[in-house]
Amino acid sequence: MAHVNENYAKLPGSYLFSTIAQKTAAFSEAHPEVDLIKMGIGDVTRPLAPAVVEAMHAAVDDLARVDTFQGYGPEQGYGFLRDAIAKHDFQSRGVAIDADEIFVSDGAKSDCGNIGDVLSVDNVIAVCDPVYPVYVDTNAMAGRAGEYDEAAQKWTNIYYMPTTAENDFVPALPTTPVDVIYLCSPNNPTGTVLNAEQLKAWVDYANENDAIIMFDAAYERFITEEDIPHSIYEIEGAHTCAIEFRSFSKTAGFTGARCGYTVVPKALVRDGQSLHSLWNRRQCTKFNGASYVIQRGAEAIYTPEGSAQIDETIEYYRKNACVIKEGLERAGLSVYGAVNSPYVWCKTPDAMGSWDFFELLLEKAHVITTPGAGFGPSGEGYIRLSAFGDAQATKEGVARIENMMASR
Amino acid sequence: MAHVNENYAKLPGSYLFSTIAQKTAAFSEAHPEVDLIKMGIGDVTRPLAPAVVEAMHAAVDDLARVDTFQGYGPEQGYGFLRDAIAKHDFQSRGVAIDADEIFVSDGAKSDCGNIGDVLSVDNVIAVCDPVYPVYVDTNAMAGRAGEYDEAAQKWTNIYYMPTTAENDFVPALPTTPVDVIYLCSPNNPTGTVLNAEQLKAWVDYANENDAIIMFDAAYERFITEEDIPHSIYEIEGAHTCAIEFRSFSKTAGFTGARCGYTVVPKALVRDGQSLHSLWNRRQCTKFNGASYVIQRGAEAIYTPEGSAQIDETIEYYRKNACVIKEGLERAGLSVYGAVNSPYVWCKTPDAMGSWDFFELLLEKAHVITTPGAGFGPSGEGYIRLSAFGDAQATKEGVARIENMMASR
C-alpha cells in the first residue's frame, strides 16, 4: 500500500494572493467603472533587453541546424555562462568564487526549494518574520517544521526571527541553537538590507555553530548604497558557512524565461562532507540543466551592451520605488525599503491591521497592495508595495494614496 | 550544527559513462588515426523542427515587447500547451485525460526525480533490472533504498524485477509486497515494450494493493506496432493507480531546449489524499513553471506542420534502429528492441561479459557502445546501441561490426 508524504497535509492553505484576487474581483464587480492600479505585484513588466533577445534568437537558430545543434547540456550549466557569472558577479567585485562553484538552474525558487534535499530532516530552521513563504513551506514539506499552530500562525519547530521597525529590520542572533538560517538581502518583503557588519555577525555565528546560511540575493542588483554587500561572500568566513541564491528574474526580466543560479563554495563542509559535491550529485540525478536558449540569453546580460540595457531597466524600477517612497512619506506614512530594493514596506496608519489598510486603499484610493500579514505574523501592521509596475501608473497610484490620506 | 542528508553517502559512484569516456580516450590516444563511431549515445542529434524554431522565435519576440511580455507563468504550464497535449496525446487516441491533469515541466528527469517528494519515505520501491538509474538513485537519496550491497550491485530495500531474454523482458508480478512500481515502455535500456495485456496485469496488481505505478513513456513516439499502448491510461483502471511521465526530448529533439510533462489523474488517491493536489502543491512551492519560449516551441509540435516534421525526424532515427538491428542479426547476434524504440539491446556472443564485448567492439570495430551491466546486474551479457546518431555513420558502424564478427 503506497503512502503519501504526511507532511503535506499539515500545510495551511496558501491564501494570500487568492484572497487579494477575490477581494479585488468583488470590488471591480461592484464598481465596474473604477480603474484599479496594481501596486502589489511581485512580477516584472518591462521587456527583455535587446542584447538578450538577440542572443536567444541566435540560440534558437543554433538548435535549428545540425552542425550547431545542442543536445543535453551540463547539469551544472554551460561553461560560457558559469564563467561570465564568476567573472562579472564575483571576481570583478573582488569576491573569490570560481566558475565551478556556480550551478545554473531554471530559477532561484527551484533551488531554494530543492536545496533541502541534501540536508538532514533533523536540522532546526531559522527564518526571518515576515518571510518569503517558499523557505518555510519547503521545509515543512520535508518534515523539518513540526506542526502548524493556526493561532500563532507559526510552525512549532521553526525558529522565527522578527524583523520590524522596532529592531531596524535586523534579525537578532538566536537564543536557542539553530542549524540552517535563511537570510534575504535586499529583503523580500521588507525591502531592507543587511550591511557588512550585520552579515558578519551571522557568518561568525554560523561558523562557530557549524550552521549553514542560505543567503537569498535575488534582488542584489537593486542595491544603490555603496557599503551594502551584494554577495555574502564579500564577508570574511562566508565560504565555509553559506550558500547563495541568485536570480535573473528581477535582474533581467527572466520571470517568464526562467534562469537563476546557486553558489555552493567548495570550502563548505558539514558532517565531513562537501556540500558542493552533495548539490552536484543532486543536480546530476534530478535535473538536466537549464535550457540552452535561456542560458545563451543570460550570458548576454554580461556583455557591455547587455549590462547597460539591464541597468536602464533597473533604473526604471528604481525611479518607481523612489516615487512610491517619497509619495507615501508626503502622505505622512512611515516607509522602509525602496532605497536598495524594488519593494516598499509601509507601516499602516494608526496601528490599523494590514488587511484593513489593504481594503481602505482598494476602496478609497483604488490601488491594490499586499497586506504584510500574508508574509508572517510580524508583517501585521505593514503593507508591501512593488516598483515593478508601469511608471505612469505608479505615479497615478501614489497620487491617489496621497489624496486619500489628505482627506482622512 | 547542520547535518547533511546521510543517504547521499550511501550512493555508489556513477561511473558508467565516465568509464566509457576514459576507455575511449585511452584508445584514441593510442590510435589517433582511428575514426571512432559513437553508437552508445542516448542523446538526439537532429535539429529542432522548423515549426518549433519559428514558434520559439515568435515567443522570444513576445518577451521583447512590453505589450506581449510574459512574466511568471502558471506553475502547471500554460493552458495553450496543456490543452494541446490533452487533445493530441490523449483524447485523439480515445484516452480520457483532461488538460488540468497535465503538469508541464523542464523535463521528465526532473519530474521522475521530484515525484518522490509527495510520497512517504516508507514505501517499498520496485524497479526493473536493467533500469534507468534515475529511478533508483532518487529513491536512495530519499532514504527508500536501504543500504547498497556492492557485491550484489543492489540496494537492500529495493525490489528488483529482472527483465531479460529469458522472460521476454516482461517483469513478473512481485512475490512480496511493493508500493511504488517503476515501469518504462518502450524501455530504456532494453528497447522492448509491454503490451496491453502485460500492462493490465500491473494495473490490476496496483489497484488491488493500493500501489502506485510510475509509468515512463518518454519513448512512446517510437512505437510502430499498432497494438502497443502509448499511454498507460489506455488500460482500464490506470487512472486510479498510475502517474505517467512524458518527454519532448526524444519526441522532438528537446534534450537541450528542456520540456516534458507529467500526468497525475484526479482519480488517483492514496491515504485519502489526491496525488494531483499533492503534486500541484509541490510544483507551486518548488517550481516556477517551464520557460515561456520553450513551451511555445512545444506547442508547435501539435500543429499539423509541426507534427509532420517531428514524424520525419522520428522516421530518420527509426531507420537507423532498423539498420542496426538487421546488421547485428546478419552478424549472428541476438537482438532485442529497435522495433518500437530508438534502442537496440544486443546479447553478447559466447556469453561474453558486457564490458569485454564493449572493449572488443571499441578495439576491433572502432565502435563505441554502452555495456548493459551499467544499467544493473541483469544487464550483464548485453550491450545497448542507440539509433540517435547520423544515418551514414550508423551504417558504417554496423558494417564494421559485421566485418568484425565475420572475421572472428
Closest residue on chain B to A140 (Cα): B285
| A212: CB partners within 8 A, 6+ apart | A119, A179, A180, A181, A206, A241, A242, A243, A268, A270, A275, B2
* Of B1, B209, B292, Cβ closest to residue A257: B292
Q: Which of A274, A302, A330 is the last residue of a domain?
A: A302
B119 at interface of A, judged by CB pairs closer than 8 A: yes
A122 at interface of B, judged by CB pairs closer than 8 A: yes
d(CA A350, CA A366): 20
pLDDT score, position B14? 73
Q: Looking at per-residue confidence, does B21 or B130 come out higher?
A: B130
Task: For B313-334, write each residue's pLDDT tens digit.
Answer: 999 999 999 999 999 999 999 9
Task: For A315-367, write each residue's pLDDT tens digit.
Answer: 999 999 999 999 999 999 999 999 999 999 999 999 999 999 999 999 999 99
pLDDT score, position A16? 86
d(CA B226, CA A64): 32
CATH number for position B317? 3.90.1150.10
pLDDT score, position B77? 98
Inside any domain, residue B6: no
Inside any domain, residue A263: yes
pLDDT, average across residues B364-391: 97
Q: Which of A258, A284, A302 is the last residue of a domain?
A: A302
Cβ contact A270–B3 (<8 Å):
yes
Beta carbons of A253 and A346 less than 8 angstroms apart? no
Domain count, chain A: 2
A141 at interface of B, judged by CB pairs closer than 8 A: yes
Give the DSSP letter string of A215-230: EE-TTGGG--STTS-S
Q: Which of A302, A321, A351 is the last residue of a domain?
A: A302
pLDDT score, position A41? 79
**Residue A14 predicted with pLDDT over 80:** no
Which residues of chain B neighbour A8 with C-beta distances below 8 Å? 118, 273, 278, 281-282
d(CA A135, CA A184): 10
Which residues of chain A neighbour B5 with C-beta distances below 8 Å? 117-120, 278
Q: Is 0.95 topped by the overall pTM?
A: yes
Compute the nearest-CA separation of B354 from chain A (Å).
24
The dihedral through the CA atoms of A77, A81, A83, A87 has a sign that is: negative
| A249: CB partners within 8 A, 6+ apart | A44, A107, A108, A218, A255, A260
B94 at interface of A, judged by CB pairs closer than 8 A: no
* Statement to judge: residues B296 and B309 lie in one domain: no
Beta carbons of B241 and B268 less than 8 angstroms apart? yes
B175 by Cβ neighbours in 10 Å (0-12 / 13-18 / 19+) ranks as exposed
Q: What is the phi/psi pair of residue A370, to 5°?
A: -120, 125
* Statement to judge: residues B285 and B391 lie in one domain: no
* Statement to judge: residues B134 and B194 lie in one domain: yes
**Residue A408 predicted with pLDDT over 90:** no
* Statement to judge: residues B77 and B191 lie in one domain: yes
pLDDT score, position B100? 98
To which residue does cell 536540522 refer? A123
Q: What Cα–Cα distance (Å) separates residue A240 from each residue in A65, A76, A87, A122, A211?
A: 44, 21, 21, 21, 10
* Statement to judge: residues B262 and B392 lie in one domain: no
Query: Any idea which of A7-21, A78-92, B22-36, B57-71 has the lowest mean pLDDT?
Result: A7-21
Beta carbons of B291 and B258 less than 8 angstroms apart? yes
d(CA B76, CA B337): 34
Cβ contact B255–A71 (<8 Å):
yes
Per-chain mean pLDDT for chain A: 97
* Statement to judge: residues A125 and A160 lie in one domain: yes
Inside any domain, residue A3: no
Q: What Cα–Cα distance (Å) separates residue A199 from each residue in A111, A183, A232?
A: 22, 9, 7
Confidence of residue B42 (pLDDT cuts 50, 70, 90): confident
What b/e readout covers B156-169, taking b as 16+ CB neighbours within 10 angstroms? ebbbbbbbbeeeeb
d(CA A386, CA A41): 6
Give me the count of residues in chain B: 408
- Structural domain including B283 reads 52-302
d(CA B112, CA A4): 16
d(CA A160, CA A173): 11
Residue type, B304: P
**Residue A17 predicted with pLDDT over 90:** no
Task: For A357-387, write each residue's pLDDT tens digit.
Answer: 999 999 999 999 999 999 999 999 999 999 9
A292 at interface of B, judged by CB pairs closer than 8 A: yes
Per-chain mean pLDDT for chain B: 97
Inside any domain, residue B7: no
What the block records as the C-alpha cell of B307 is 507534427
Inside any domain, residue B9: no
Inside any domain, residue A211: yes
CATH number for position A262? 3.40.640.10
Suggest the residue from B3, B10, B250 to mutate for an interface test with chain A (most A CBs closer than 10 A). B3
Q: What percent of chain B has pLDDT over 90?
A: 97
* Statement to judge: residues A102 and A243 lie in one domain: yes
Confidence of residue A241 (pLDDT cuts 50, 70, 90): very high
Inside any domain, residue A309: yes
**Residue A20 predicted with pLDDT over 80:** yes
Closest residue on chain B to A114 (Cα): B286
pLDDT score, position A18? 84
pLDDT, average across residues B276-302: 97
* Of A6, A257, A281, Cβ closest to residue B8: A281
Cβ contact A1–B210 (<8 Å):
yes
pLDDT score, position A13? 82
Confidence of residue B103 (pLDDT cuts 50, 70, 90): very high
Inside any domain, residue B360: yes
Own/partner pairs for B314-319, CB < 8 Å, 24+ apart?
B314/B221, B314/B222, B314/B251, B316/B46, B316/B391, B317/B44, B317/B46, B317/B222, B317/B342, B317/B387, B317/B388, B318/B222, B318/B224, B318/B342, B318/B387, B319/B391
* Statement to judge: residues B240 and B385 lie in one domain: no
* Statement to judge: residues B356 and B297 lie in one domain: no
pLDDT, average across residues A64-90: 97
pLDDT score, position A174? 97
Pairing assessment for the beta strands B125-129 and B159-162 based on DSSP bridges: parallel
* Statement to judge: residues A325 and A253 lie in one domain: no
* Statement to judge: residues A151 and A138 lie in one domain: yes
pLDDT score, position B15? 73
| A18: CB partners within 8 A, 6+ apart | none
pLDDT score, position B152? 94
Interface of B with A in 198-237 (CB under 8 A): 209-212
pLDDT, average across residues A120-148: 97
* Statement to judge: residues B254 and B314 lie in one domain: no
pLDDT score, position A83? 98
pLDDT score, position B329? 98
What the block records as the C-alpha cell of A316 is 526604471
Residue type, A208: E
